[in-house]
Amino acid sequence: MGYAAVVIGVSAGGIEALKVLLPALPASFPLPIAIVQHRDRRSDGFLAHYLNTMTKIAVSEAEDKEPFCASHAYLAPAGYHLLIEPDRSLSLNVDERVNYSCPSIDVLFESAANVFAQSLIGVVLTGANADGAQGLKAIKARGGLAVVQDPQTAAAMTMPRAALNATPVDHVVPLERIAPLLTQISTPNGAYDTAS
């Protein structure tokens, strides 16, 4: 199974989680990554800049109509839903909140599932609401791979637990093992030993 993209959803406790996950990815990480981190709509672009200083892959805020490129992580800007278009470009909109959130994890996950189907990896991390659960279910329904942070390692357990309750998942792993998992399964003929 070859994978083409990764989508990540994170909320409460997310900045600390991203500071663990993203710097652990190698510069050669072969897939593009789209991330929704719930933030106050007045937040500026500091988070992407801050993460970019500590990672080997590029990190930036997504821009409307921007190509979705490998070895790059794109964060949804505060106050904008982030979607993947059929031509695999990024798009932003200011539609109504979903799960009380804009950006919404479900919006990103569902749009990406429609584009990438079985070649998509969805990841749900720490968070204090249920956003992302239905989106991860959509990814699984399209044949994609579902990864959830072990709730016991999450700063806020509600979001990973909601995802686990919504759909069967492929991997439930501690935060520090998610980057090695993504690296191994995104490599052709890669495998991941869940016992390691």
> Does the annotation count 72 as an active-site position?
no
User: What secondary structure letter does DSSP report for 124?
Assistant: E
Selecting among 38, 72, 81, 171, the annotated active-site residue is 38
Please answer whether residues 180 and 26 qualify as being in contact, where contact means their C-beta atoms are separated by less than 8 angstroms. Answer: no
* 33-37, strands of its sheet edge to edge: 58-61, 72-75, 33-37, 5-10, 120-124, 145-149, 171-173
How far apart CA 120 and CA 109 sit, in angstroms, is 9
> Does the annotation count 106 as an active-site position?
no
Selecting among 72, 131, 171, 186, the annotated active-site residue is 131
Residue type, 65: K
> Does the annotation count 171 as an active-site position?
no
Q: 104: closest CA among 129, 126, 124, 132?
A: 132
Selecting among 11, 104, 111, 186, the annotated active-site residue is 11
Catalytic residues, by residue number, are 11, 38, 131
